[in-house]
Structure 1
Amino acid sequence: MFQFEDAKPKRPPTKVEAPQAAGSDAPAITHRALLAWAEHCVECAAPACYSSCDLFDPTPAGKCRRFEDGIVRNPGASAPDAPAAEVRFRRWGKLEAQGNAALMPADKVARDERLLTLATPLVAPIGRAIAKVTGQSRWATAMEALHKRINNRLQAKALAPAADAFLAEIINPGAQPVRLLLTAMIDKARLPRAVRSDQLPRTMTVAIEATPGFSRHEIPLDDMREILLSGLPFNLALTPADGDDAHLIFRRLDLVAFEKTSGAETGRADKVAPAKAAKLVVFDLDNTLWEGVLLEGEVKLRDGVHDLFRTLDERGILISVASKNAHDDAMSKLEALGLAEYVLHPRIGWGPKSEGLKKIVKAIDIGSDTVLFIDDNPFEREEVAGAAPEVEVLPETAISTLADHPRLQGAVTPESRTRRQMYREAIVREQAAESFGDDYLSFLRECGIHTEIRPDTPDDFERVVELVQRTNQLNFSGRKYSRDEIAEILADPNRERHVVICRDKFGSYGTVGFCLSRRETAPDGGEVVMIEDFMLSCRVQGKFIEQALFWRLAEDGVRPPAQSVIVNFKRTDRNRAAEMVLEKLGFATDVEGPLRLDIKPGDLAVDFLTVEGASAPAKPALETVE
């Protein structure tokens, strides 16, 4: 809608033929935001500039006139659901609206706009009369104040659906194109407190060319999405780019959602909560982990959060944060509350929560179906649920009982107690690796990797269960076992079992692998290593631990060196990483059945790894796996 001038204009509206709102193939508008476009100055420093600027020309309300006659209603160009606005820009003039991302049904917005437009010629003169009698200038802009109050109330609400586009319908009665700049930016003056610019969503500017006659522009919101979803006060502005005398008629300037086609995604289907054990919980901050909104002032940590973080951490459940906040302020608060040490790869900014969550999942390298997301805001929960339906989404009320959640029971093992530390060490490793550029092997040599391969002990049971039940990417057989089946395997004295423990100069990886193998005699009398099952944690992926294990089993220093390694590999939809390892080692993976690699002593040796119990390498085998 437009804040029309209530006085009669000096010149009549331009006569134009009203075009159709859109082509026959354009989707219908189902929702739009209630925006009130008003006359503003690009160099405004009101009210100080009123007495110092040579361009000051007062409106009836005492503000500065930057359009000839203000915003004039043009009935002949109106859209079916709203009147058109004719604007003759003067120097430094711009159209501006306080923004809000709360979309409502289009018919409701149309009704509200009609009521506000009808009220203007009644309320505005009364406000000016009160201002004249009382000397209180705020009454002169009563309608503008009402628009702002309505906008602020709408902006405080998080409503679905999200906008699909900014839609501009413009009639250019002139003979030359007019270029406009559409700008969306955070209104710092309306923030509760000062925040550095680099801590806020970036300003978006898009050029719109209004060609002679009617033109329709659907502006994608990719660059504006961060502003729209931030919850912060923002403004939208349209400014002529090539001069100060643009003359245009605006039929529509709206944030809109379009009708979805029958085949489009219209919502998330109900689904049974996934049964997989969770590995990560991602929390919102404002009114979730703490009570209050950090940008608005002091906050109070929710009761029980310290104990919850400590409990999850001991169980090996990782913790992160996805929050719409100024990053430095939020991290400082987490530090002050004693929570920052628990948080891995936090995503704090103004983008969609679902994007932040996906980045956290990618950085930690786990499946999204092992993630829980906690947020107080229904809109944010729905946004994440729609973008990542495999994530279990819960309200903030679940925090008080979260430790009892069946998917968050974890396992209290040496690895679980140090899992967070292992991920922090991994971050340091990644930073160190960057200094080596593409020379990854030199980096591995510097790491001082030490691998121990030994038979299992009773104390290994819980960790072996974790590896066997949770490993997907580096699960060579693709098989899963129940706890009872694992207990039976570990109790069998006739099965050759191995656990793999790994560390380097940055810290310990803990127990990273479990293998079932056996030795067999080939028809020619030679020795063959049969790998029945092998599960390896992805935290050591790419560090040649698989090759070190095969080397250790083929040349254990006790039995004659094996002439072949045969792996019981079964392809699944998740273990492509395991298949790639075998391909790099020289196994032919395009055949059915177990995969075989014929070797000579030293072929699988890795000269930069220390493998406890292995014979000294006969030669480096890096050429095999590069």
Structure 2
Amino acid sequence: MALANERLDHLKTVKLDRRLRKLFPDEPPKGIPTVPVRLAILSSSTVDHLLPSLRVGALRHGIWLGTQLGDYGQYAQELQDPAAAIHQYRPTCVLFAFDARHMLRGIDVTAGADEAEAWLEATVADLARHWQLGRQQFDCKVIQQTILPVFPTLFGNNEQRLPGSAAALLSRLNQRLRASADAHGIELLAIDEQATQDGLQTWYDPALWHRGKQEVHPNATPVYGDMLGRLLAAYQGRSRKCLVLDLDNTLWGGVIGDDGLTGILIGNGNSVGEAFIEFQSYARALSRRGIILAVCSKNDEKNALEPFEKHPEMVLKRNDIACFVANWSDKASNIREIAQRLNIGLDSLVFVDDNPFEREIVRRELPMVAVPEIPEDPALYSRVVAAAGYFEGVHLTAEDRERTAQYQATLQRNSLAATVTDLPSYLRSLEMRMVWTRFDTIGLQRIVQLVNKTNQFNLTTRRTTTEEVEHIIADPRSLSLQMRLIDRFGDNGIISIIAGSLAGGGGIGADLGGPQAGPGDIVLHTWLMSCRVLGRGVEQAALDLVIAEGKRLQARRLIGVYKPTPKNDMTRRLYAELGFAALEPEGDIERWVLQLDGAEPKPTSIQIIEG
């Protein structure tokens, strides 16, 4: 994984991939803390040269990737033929990678506006049918590669006025792809946008196309693989969550402690000052979409806060920063403190500092923290952070937009808790309300997001898909709960997801109950909580809801499942502490049972409200 994170060109990527495949030909190496992915690539051109970069790019983001390549141009037949190799492979993810010439078959430059529009609608509809077929056949995630804009213009600057031109059609097709992908819940691999940034000549060589039908240039394959790796990591909740920022010469020019408020360089009218404004604007935009911002600075705290509170040109304000640490301790220790205060893993952090000495210290002491190599020119800061793909997302929810406020409120609660000695009185003073509903379409994407990214308080770390959650919603015999916690400091958002299925009923995850589960038993295949609300009696309140739902479904027992992972040891004793009795373990899976007959709610400081 360390080698995969080096700056590798195509040839070095191929060498690393060969070595990996020789060392681990059949099974992934031990210790990779993610679910392996089996990727099937269905293409219309030559893509064999992409495979090493796909595997190494996934490993860079902590994913062990297996690949299966369909026959050249036979994707439609393979999807529908049960004897095809892809059906034996049973992919967990399918990538559709189509070349521009294949996509533009069946139309010519003389097409009028109506004909071009009809072609676009038919082409996008045909792609959607293949997406749906892939999902139905394999119950897997589907990714669609956008189309490279390889054709020269025929009409010049106003190419859109020639409806049948290949360049104009591809531009419109990529627009339609984006809308259709959103409508169908499909993720895109946006190589058209990347080629626009890098230059088309970096991604495409007509000579290679005509010689070997290679559309993606070998030199671009490491970037292609990294883009897919980011997406797969985001599916598994491995995107970074927090941007940790230095201050002096990172958010402004100069040293606040020496230059003072009027001496630091930030603001309009100066090219360097405007570059710092742009980077601050980028950081604030990240926070608006759900990335936590923190400050780690070697400074007196009073001096460090002054620009946020008093400088008129500052884009970032104090309330944009969820955790502010400014002192004279070493930055590795302070970054540990930030992670502890926010209750997130160090592997969730990205640290940006203009000082190469500080970057190297953090890399050495905290190798799990991402530390991009920042250039000297602040005008390039935003581009470097964005290009690394640390914050890749798949779904954006309303709660993502409120994350900074939620973490600030958590720090307030923790600060108050540190001053009290009577815990029950403190919990009552929070005036907590747990608002619950069963799974619904309104919370669908947030449910999928939480299940796929929660690792610590997650009893099985079983991942899910949009289709699975839709199935649970539609199944009246499924147990499903989503819980939101509100207190006097604010709304914590959705803090727990619990789902279960009746044993023997063919429901989602019921097989995890093992041989001990029988008729009338509900198997709790998914139970996760936000770590920031632990220690408040939420676990017991959640169990009270599960008991009530189990009785409503006329179940006789609850079967709790615990499957240990490198990160979820904190949940090992949950079922025992909640009064479940241990069943005989099977391999590394523990199962626990609670009789519903006679089980009653226990008093907590939390008011439970059905939403």
Question: Please, what TM-score do these two structures have when normalized by structure 2?
Answer: 0.51
**Alignment partner, residue 598 of structure 1:** 595
Alignment pair present for 1:444 and 2:409: no
Q: What is the alpha-carbon distance in structure 2 between the residues aligned to residue 556 and residue 348 of structure 1?
A: 48
Question: Which residue number corresponds to residue 350 of structure 1?
Answer: 328
Q: Give the counterpart letter for 2:411 in structure 1.
A: I
- 1:282-328 deviation digits (Å, cap 9, x = unpaired): 11111111111223311123131342132111221101111112221
CA contact (8 A) 2:399 2:493 kept: yes
1:331 aligned to 278, 292, 305, which one?
305
Q: 1:493 to 1:596 in 2, by over 3 A?
A: closer
Q: Mean Cα displacement is larger for which, 275-284 or 564-573?
A: 564-573
Q: CA deviation at 1:395?
A: 3.5
Tell whether the 8 Å contact from 1:563 to 1:600 is kept in structure 2 after alignment: yes
Q: In the aligned structure 2, how far is the partner of 1:455 from the partner of 1:512? A: 14
Query: Which structure's residues are more often helix, by fraction?
Result: 2
Question: In structure 2, what residue type is equivalent to 1:499?
Answer: Q
The separation in 2 between residues aligned to 1:423 and 1:303, in whole angstroms, is 25
SS of 2:414's equivalent in the other structure is helix
Q: What does residue 379 of structure 1 align with? A: 357
Deviation at 1:405, TM superposition (A): 4.5
* Counterpart residue identity of residue 431, structure 1: S
Query: Where does residue 284 of structure 1 map in the other structure?
Result: 246
The separation in 1 between residues aligned to 2:518 and 2:397, in whole angstroms, is 43
> Is the CA contact (8 Å cut-off) linking 2:482 and 2:498 kept in structure 1?
yes
Deviation at residue 493 of structure 1 after TM alignment: 6.2
Q: Aligned with 2:443: secondary structure?
A: helix
Q: Which amino acid aligns with 1:407?
A: Y
Paired residue secondary structure (1:369): helix
Please give the alpha-carbon distance, in whole angstroms, between the structure 2 residues aligned to 1:492 and 1:559.
14
- Secondary structure (helix, strand or coil) at the match of 1:445 reads helix
- In 2, Cα distance between equivalents of 1:344 and 1:330: 15
Aligned position for 2:381: 399
Tell me, yes or no, if the aligned pair for 2:537 and 2:604 is still in contact at 8 Å. no
Counterpart in the other structure of 2:344: 366
In structure 2, do the counterparts of structure 1 residues 384 and 278 end up closer, same or farther at CA, with 3 Å as the change threshold?
same
Check whether the contact 1:477–1:532 (CA below 8 A) recurs between aligned residues: yes
Larger Rg: 1
Matches of 2:563 and 2:604, distance apart in 1? 30
- Amino acid of the structure 2 residue aligned with 1:303: I
Q: Distance in 2 between matches of 1:598 and 1:356?
A: 47
- Please give the residue correspondences for 1:33-112 in structure 2 after superposition, counting only pairs within 5 Å: none
Question: Do 1:566 and 1:595's aligned partners in 2 also have CA atoms closer than 8 Å?
Answer: yes
Q: Is the 8 A contact 1:468 1:481 kept in 2?
A: yes
Q: Say yes or no: does 1:313 pair with 2:270.
A: no
AA of the residue aligned to 1:399: Y
Distance in 2 (alpha carbons) for counterparts of 1:457 and 1:613: 13
Counterpart of 2:577?
584
Q: Deviations over 1:444-468 (max 9, x none)?
A: 2222221122122222122112211
More strand by share: 1
3-state SS of paired residue (1:530): strand
State the partner residue of 2:215: none
2:108 aligned residue:
none
How far is 1:556 from its partner?
4.1
Calculate the TM-score normalised by the size of structure 1. Answer: 0.50
- CA contact under 8 A between 2:246 and 2:297: conserved in structure 1? yes
Q: Does the Cα contact within 8 Å between 2:503 and 2:518 map onto a contact in 1?
A: no
Q: Which moved more, 1:378-387 or 1:547-556?
A: 547-556
Query: 2:567 — aligned with what?
Result: 574
User: For residues 369 and 560 of structure 1, do their structure 2 counterparts lie closer, same or farther at Cα, with a shift above 3 Å needed?
Assistant: closer
3-state SS in 2 of match to 1:290: coil
SS in 2 for 1:303: helix
Q: Distance in 1 between matches of 2:530 and 2:466?
A: 18
Counterpart mapping for 1:521-540 below 5 A:
528-540=521-533
Flag structure 2 segments of 5+ consecutive residues without an equivalent.
Answer: 1-225, 267-275, 506-515
What SS is found at the alignment partner of 1:328? Answer: helix
2:447 and 2:517 mapped to 1: Cα distance?
36
Measure how far apart 1:511 and its partner are: 1.1
Please state whether the residue corresponding to 1:468 is helix, strand or coil.
Answer: helix
Amino acid at match of 2:428: R
Give the corresponding residue for 2:264. 299
CA drift of 1:392 comes to 0.8
CA distance in 1, matches of 2:324, 2:565: 32
Quote the residue 1:513 is aligned against.
496
In 1, the alpha carbon distance for the partners of 2:598 and 2:545 equals 11
Shift of 1:376: 1.0
Contact 1:568 1:595 in 2 (8 A): yes
1:314 touches 1:412 (CA, 8 Å); kept in 2? no
Per-residue CA deviation, residues 168-197 of structure 1 (Å, 9 max, x unaligned), is xxxxxxxxxxxxxxxxxxxxxxxxxxxxxx
Q: Which residue identity does 1:352 align to in structure 2?
A: D
Q: How many residues of Structure 1 are paired with residues of Structure 2 in the alignment?
A: 342
Q: Please give the alpha-carbon distance, in whole angstroms, between the structure 2 residues aligned to 1:295 and 1:447.
A: 39
The 8 Å contact of residues 441 and 470 in structure 2, kept in 1 or not, is answered as no
Separation (CA, whole Å) in 2 of partners of 1:307 and 1:362? 27
CA distance in 1, matches of 2:389, 2:467: 20
Q: Deviations over 1:382-421 (max 9, x none)?
A: 0000000011101344522234542214453121111111
Aligned residue for 1:321, secondary structure, equals: strand
In 1, Cα distance between the equivalents of 2:596 and 2:467? 36
Letter in 1 for 2:444: F
Match of 2:544 in 1: 551
CA distance in 2 between partners of 1:280 and 1:524 (Å): 41
CA drift of 1:581 comes to 2.3
Corresponding residue for 2:139? none
